[in-house]
Amino acid sequence: MHLIEKAKEDNQTIITEFILLGFGNLPELQVLLFLFFLVIYIVTMSGNILIIALVISDQHLHSPMYYFLVNLSCLEPCYISTIQPRLLASLLTGDRTISVSGCFAQFYCFGSLATTECYLLAAMSYDRYVVICKPLHYADLMNGRWCLQLAVRSWISGFLICVIMICFMSQLTFCGLSEIDHFFCEFSPMLKLSCSDTGMITQVSVILTTLDLPCPFLLTVTSYACIIATILRIPSTTGRQKAFSTCSSHLIVVTVFYRTLMTVYLLPKTNTLKALNKVFSVFYTVLTPMLNPLIYSLRNKEVKEALRKVIS
């Protein structure tokens, strides 16, 4: 209340909604962009639902790797649905406004699901590490109970971290400018529009990011370092190719996800690079969820075989 009264005394208008500028600077491309994102949305939804149906229906796919893949395929439609419908509506109607509470909800859902995806990819990389580096102990190490624990911890970790952030953000007051030069509600642009003291929430975000997010990334990198070292020790070329094929799909997904994510957040936040930042954001928020089911279905023999059975 004190912040609101202070803002009123300073003749500042309290913001109740933001304007997501998105791709509004390209009016001649609005229809093409709408069709582009609509096709991606349909392919993403149908592709991930198909993966879930195949894994459930085919007994040969009832293994830890595909258990995590089902979790990932459940996550991707939710992940893309936090942004895509709102983006499609703005491109179709031209209405780019979103309430402050709606922006908070979008930020929370998207941030939680993105963090959960990092943990799920780490769990999948650990599964690949065990199957290649410790094949004789695979059944014991990757039993059903442990797989369930890994999946549940991934989901809880993702949503718990963002609860802390959203609790701090709900205390902020927004006044003055209301434009966010992005197509979704991102943390930094929202913080810049606040007329409250953002020192505390900035410190909290740095602490949480430093303590939590490197964990799944380092686990993934460590797993693949061990996997590559083990593969290189295999004497025959055929053996190396066979071992690498068991993790190649997951490695591609991990590489695409982290490369685009790191490019966006490590790119300098200058005015000249804003457009480029927005383009790279499209990759990890929109294209990656679509690529995941395609990569797993096109590069995985077991998934292709299951799909062939369904078609025939």
Give how many domains the chain has, as a whole number: 1
Residue type, 101: S
Residue 9: what pLDDT? 40
- Domain containing residue 101: CATH number: 1.20.1070.10
Closest by Cα among 124, 33, 19, 36 to 75: 124
* Residue 120 structural domain: 2-311
Residue 270: what pLDDT? 65
Residue 262: what pLDDT? 81
Residue 12: what pLDDT? 61
Closest by Cα among 238, 280, 288, 239 to 262: 280
Tell me which residues of the chain have a pLDDT lower than 50. 1-9
Residue 155: what pLDDT? 93
Helix (H) / strand (E) element for 49: namely helix 30-57
Residue 268: what pLDDT? 67
Residue 3: what pLDDT? 41
* Burial class of residue 250, CB neighbours in 10 A (0-12, 13-18, 19+): buried
Q: How far apart are CA 273 and CA 259, in angstroms?
A: 17
Residue 75: what pLDDT? 93
DSSP conformational letter for 267: S
Assign 269 to helix, strand or coil: coil
